[in-house]
Amino acid sequence: MLHPEDLARLTAFRHARHRTPEVSGTEAATAQAVLDATVITSPDAVLTGLGGHGVALVHDSRRDGPTVMLRAELDALPIQERATHAHASAHPGRAHLCGHDGHMAILTGMAAHLSRRPPARGRVVLLFQPAEETGAGAAAVRADPRWPQIAPDWAFALHNMPGMALGAVAVARGPAHCASVGLRVRLTGRTAHAATPETGRSPAPCAARLVQALPGLAETDAWLTLCHLRVGDPAFGIAPGEAELWLTLRAVTDTGLKTLETAVQARIDAAATACGLTHSLTRHDHFPACTNHPDAVAVLDRAARAAGLPQGQTDLPMRASEDFGHFGHDARAAMALIGAGERCAALHSPDYDFPDALIAPGVALFAAIIDELLA
> Per-residue pLDDT for the chain (375 aa), expressed as one digit of tens each?
677 789 999 999 999 999 999 999 999 999 999 999 999 999 999 999 999 999 999 999 999 999 999 999 999 999 999 998 999 999 999 999 999 999 999 999 999 999 999 999 999 999 999 999 999 999 999 999 999 999 999 999 999 999 999 999 999 999 999 999 999 999 999 999 999 999 999 999 999 999 999 999 999 999 999 999 999 999 999 999 999 999 999 999 999 999 999 999 999 999 999 999 999 999 999 999 999 999 999 999 999 999 999 999 999 999 999 999 999 999 999 999 999 999 999 999 999 999 999 999 999 999 999 999 998
Q: Which of 74, 72, 47 is nearest to 59 (CA)?
A: 47
Same domain, 237 and 325: no
Bond preceding residue 310 cis, omega within 30 of 0 = no
Tell which of 286, 311, 333 closes a domain: 286
Same domain, 150 and 79: yes
Q: What is the CATH number for 269?
A: 3.30.70.360
Same domain, 276 and 305: no
Same domain, 167 and 314: yes
Residues 108, 166: Cα–Cα separation, whole Å: 20
Question: How many structural domains is the chain composed of?
Answer: 2
Q: Is 188 left (phi over 0), alpha (psi -120 to 50) or beta?
A: beta
Same domain, 232 and 149: no
Q: What is the pTM of this model?
A: 0.93
For β-strands 222-231 and 332-339, DSSP reports them as unpaired
Same domain, 67 and 134: yes
Same domain, 215 and 263: yes
DSSP annotation of 349 reads -
Same domain, 333 and 351: yes
Same domain, 146 and 68: yes
Q: What is the CATH number for 159?
A: 3.40.630.10
Residue 360 CB coordination number (10 Å): 19
Beta bridge partners of 228: 246
Same domain, 201 and 139: no
Kindly give the residue spans of alpha helices, DSSP state H, lying in the chain: 4-19, 28-38, 100-116, 137-143, 147-150, 204-213, 254-274, 294-306, 359-374
Q: Which domain holds residue 262?
A: 179-286
Same domain, 202 and 165: no
Same domain, 78 and 160: yes
